[in-house]
Amino acid sequence: MSSPNYEKVEDKMPDPQNPPPYSEKESYRGPDPSAGPLPPMGYGAPSPMPNQYQPYYGAPGADSSQGPVLQPPQAVFITPVQPTNEPDYLVYSIFTMLCCCLPLGIAALVYSIMTREANHMGNLTAAQRNSRLARVLAHSAVGVGLGCLILYIALMVILTTTTT
Mean pLDDT of 123-129: 94
DSSP assignment of the chain: ---TT---STTTPPPTTSPPPS-SS-------GGG-PPPP-STTPPP-PPPSSEEE--STTS-TTS--EEEPPPP---PPPPPP-----HHHHHHHHHHT-HHHHHHHHHHHHHHHHHHHHT-HHHHHHHHHHHHHHHHHHHHHHHHHHHHHHHHHHHHHHHH-
Sign of the C-alpha dihedral computed for residues 14, 18, 22 and 23 taken in this order: negative
Determine, yes or no, domain membership for 19.
Answer: no
pLDDT at 78: 80
Determine, yes or no, domain membership for 135.
Answer: yes
Determine, yes or no, domain membership for 77.
Answer: no
Structural domain boundaries, residue 148: 90-163
**Residue 163 pLDDT > 90:** no
Give the C-alpha separation, 120 to 79, whole Å: 15
**Residue 160 pLDDT > 60:** yes
Higher pLDDT, 111 or 43: 111
- How many domains would you assign to the chain? 1
Determine, yes or no, domain membership for 78.
Answer: no
Determine, yes or no, domain membership for 146.
Answer: yes
Percent of the chain predicted with pLDDT > 90? 46
Determine, yes or no, domain membership for 39.
Answer: no
pLDDT at 105: 96
Average pLDDT, the chain: 77
Give the C-alpha separation, 63 to 66, whole Å: 7
Q: Give tens-digit pLDDT for 33-88.
A: 566 555 555 565 555 555 555 555 555 555 556 566 677 788 888 877 788 899 99
